[in-house]
């Protein structure tokens, strides 16, 4: 296994060959988010470094993975591309990886109904790229983003200082252009802001579509709990990359099983383990001598 991990090169491009049959090119949504594979005590593990984790809400030591996921109203979890965040090797930020994956998705012929992302990925360069591809985006934005309510610098202010009605409001987002902005208040009293380049989007439709972004959170949880994507203790970067690819491919098999038989990932994994144990106990490869 160690030789396989260290000598095999499996790239994200290969993943698309497996995922493509389950993806509709003309419908569905593309979701982007990142997760950190925790390696708290793996200071010698390749690819691992200190970085912020949204799960722990603090800086942790681990491997950062940015994923582009396809889903539809049937709640699929189909990873079509991913990148490992290692700026020391390739010089790319997470947002640059995201734009690279969007460009690859365009080349593959995808035309999603919307691109869904949180505020971390809603930078101007990314929004312009999505607009150039004639795609719709719905994204979270920080409350300190600058918007204009009219002409002249006097009308420039932070989005948190603008009166946004329940049905949303069309504003000029700095360094981008016109967007429709929505404001929602959580149960804790925190105001959250969302923007879309579809100026005709209603509040109800926006909430319904953006709710699909939760699929990528479920995907990351499933990766860690079912296929052990964060449990590889190999030290070399190549071994870690190979393990991550194999874990994602294994999850894809569980997702296929879930959709076909309407069972959970956890039930699929339990069946694999129980069947393997039964076959081994029935005919063990290493048998004890009998008296």
**Per-residue pLDDT tens digits for 24-75:** 999 999 999 999 999 988 888 989 999 888 888 899 999 999 999 999 988 9
pLDDT (mean) for 73-92: 94
pLDDT at 149: 86
Asked if residue 143 belongs to a domain, the reply is no
Domain of 69 in residue numbering reads as: 2-112+235-282
Residue 61 lies in a domain: yes
Gap between the Cα atoms of 179 and 197, Å rounded: 5
**Number of separate domains in the chain:** 1
55 within a domain of the structure (yes/no): yes
Within-domain flag for 84: yes
> 7 to each of 90, 118, 140, 240, 270, how far by Cα in Å?
21, 36, 41, 11, 30
Contact of 132 with 149, CB cutoff 8 Å: no
Q: Residue 290: pLDDT band by 50, 70, 90 thresholds? A: low
What is the C-alpha separation between 270 and 226, in angstroms, rounded? Answer: 10
Q: Considering the domain boundaries, does residue 27 fall inside one?
A: yes
> For 166-188, what is the mean pLDDT?
94
* 58-71 vs 156-158, strand pairing mode: unpaired
């Amino acid at each position: 296994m160690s030789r396989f991990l260290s000598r095999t090169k499996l790239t994200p491009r290969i993943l698309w060959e497996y995922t493509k049959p389950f993806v509709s090119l003309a419908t569905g949504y593309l979701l982007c988010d990142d997760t950190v594979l925790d390696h708290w005590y793996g200071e010698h593990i390749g690819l691992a470094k200190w970085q912020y984790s949204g799960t722990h809400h603090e800086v942790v030591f681990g491997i950062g993975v940015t994923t582009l996921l396809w889903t539809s109203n049937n709640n699929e979890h189909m990873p079509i591309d991913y990148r490992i965040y290692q700026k020391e090797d390739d010089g790319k930020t997470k947002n640059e990886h995201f734009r690279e994956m969007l460009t690859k998705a365009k080349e593959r012929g995808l035309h999603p109904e919307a691109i869904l992302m949180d505020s971390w990925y809603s930078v101007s360069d990314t929004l312009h790229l999505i607009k150039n591809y004639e795609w719709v985006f719905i994204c979270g934005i920080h409350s300190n983003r600058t918007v204009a309510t009219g002409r002249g610098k006097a009308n420039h202010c932070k989005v948190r200082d603008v009166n946004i009605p329940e049905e949303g409001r069309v504003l000029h987002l700095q360094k981008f252009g016109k967007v429709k902005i929505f404001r929602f208040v959580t149960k804790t009293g925190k105001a959250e802001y969302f923007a879309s380049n579809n100026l005709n989007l209603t509040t109800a439709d926006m909430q319904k579509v953006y709710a699909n972004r939760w699929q990528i959170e479920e995907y990351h949880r499933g990766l860690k709990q079912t296929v052990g994507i964060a449990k590889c203790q190999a030290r070399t970067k190549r071994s870690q990359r190979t393990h991550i690819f194999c874990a994602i491919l294994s999850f894809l098999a569980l997702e296929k099983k879930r959709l076909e038989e309407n069972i959970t990932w956890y039930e699929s994994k339990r069946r694999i383990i129980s069947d393997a144990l039964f076959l081994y106990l029935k005919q063990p490869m290493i048998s004890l001598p009998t008296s």
